[in-house]
Amino acid sequence: MEIWSLPFSPSQRAKLLSAGYTYLHSFSHLSPSALAADLDVSPQEASDVLRVVTQAGMMRKPDSIVAGAQTAWDILCEDRTMNHITTSCEDLDGILGGGISCKEITEVGGVPGIGKTQLGIQLAVNVQIPVEYGGLGGKAIYVDTEGSFMVERAFQIAESCIQDIMDKVLQTDDVGVCQENLHVNAILANIFYFRICSYTEQIAVVNYLEKFISAQKDVKIIIIDSVTFHFRQDFDDLALRTRVLSALAQKMMKLAKKFNLAVVLLNQVTTKCTDGSFQLTLALGESWSHACTNRIILYWKGNERCAYLDKSPSLPLSAAPFSVTTKGIRSVASSCKRMRTT
């Protein structure tokens, strides 16, 4: 194995290559002090280098052709037991195959006022529905970049969610037990809120999340509202933007897979000029559109809100109507709808 394929910093790599160390076996029988003298670096740095090299050189006996690979059959069996996070709207759950799936990044985009933040708050509450009542019983992380998270609204939605569960449970006479376990304050306590004011903070939070989630152990959804905000205004270097965003997306993918949680990224819209006419598309450009696993576009159809599944590896592309009510996101048939303001 060659040195350039190992995760060294560019300056370390340059020093190693100019000293003639190109293959792993160049390091055989080398002590840290000898390496430090050769490369003209501190002994600490030399032992770090040797540690990376020995780790790469360890001959792991692979149980399959590549360590960590799973067969499609095992994945199929696992997926059968996988839970989805319901959106509280049956039609929307229907097009999503049961709800927002774990281990995947779902991007939700739409015009301002369509209900993206509402959906985000609804999901942060719904993920906490206990396993007995069809939920995941997990915690939520809400990364707010725009300042649109309203605690009062979250309180309202949490109350309605508990009410809905109680209504269902009433039929089975388990009311007492239910009332004890579900409390609005407990739900709010399980939403971890991060307020972000610049893109560097956004990158820092994503880097920090791995440690945070390892410590918390029960997080099942990460919502970033919205991922676009700090990358739109005053961001001159578009090439840097593409690099930073794709690195961010890959880190989220890794978190989703490693901790088996769902990631929901809320996005804004922009206009694109195609064939002389202007069309609404999601912001952040072409490269970003490849970063997510699933994509849902929210739009107005007359006076009704609709959601269109625009990208999915396993579901057909389809649309469903939904509504935003005082109770949160619900199906169209419910009453007290929040009407269009424009």
Residues that bind another protein (CB under 8 A): 1, 4-7, 10, 13, 19-23, 25-30, 56, 59-60, 62, 64-76, 79, 103-105, 239-240, 242-244, 246-247, 249-251, 253-254, 256-257, 273-274, 286-287, 289-293, 295, 310-311, 313-314, 316-317
E strand or H helix that includes residue 128: none
**Selection from 193, 103, 192, 83 nearest residue 148 by Cα:** 193
**Torsion angle (degrees, nearest 10) of CA 333, 334, 335, 337:** -90
Nearer to another protein, 44 or 250 (CB): 250
Q: Sign of torsion, CA 125 129 135 139? A: positive
**Torsion angle (degrees, nearest 10) of CA 173, 179, 181, 183:** 150
Q: Long-range contacts made by residues 199-208, C-beta under 8 angstroms, separation at least 24? A: 199/230, 199/231, 199/235, 199/244, 202/143, 202/145, 202/227, 202/230, 202/248, 203/244, 203/248, 205/143, 206/248, 206/251, 206/252, 207/251
| Location of structure tokens 């971890």 | 192
Q: Checking phi first, is residue 141 left (phi over 0); if not, alpha (psi -120 to 50) or beta?
A: beta
Nearer to another protein, 21 or 322 (CB): 21
- Asked whether 146 and 113 are in contact (CB, 8 A), the reply is no
- Residue 64 CB, shortest distance to another protein, in Å, is 6
Nearer to another protein, 51 or 183 (CB): 51
- Residue 59 CB, shortest distance to another protein, in Å, is 8
Nearer to another protein, 25 or 301 (CB): 25
CA distance 89 to 91: 6
Nearer to another protein, 21 or 142 (CB): 21
Nearer to another protein, 20 or 302 (CB): 20
Q: In 72-174, which ranges are continuous DSSP H helix? A: 72-80, 90-95, 116-126, 151-170
- Residue 197 CB, shortest distance to another protein, in Å, is 23
- Asked whether 286 and 241 are in contact (CB, 8 A), the reply is no
Mutual orientation of helices 10-18 and 43-57 as an angle, nearest 10°?
Answer: 90
CA distance 37 to 146: 52
- Residue 93 CB, shortest distance to another protein, in Å, is 17
- Burial (CB count <10 Å: 0-12, 13-18, 19+), residue 10: exposed
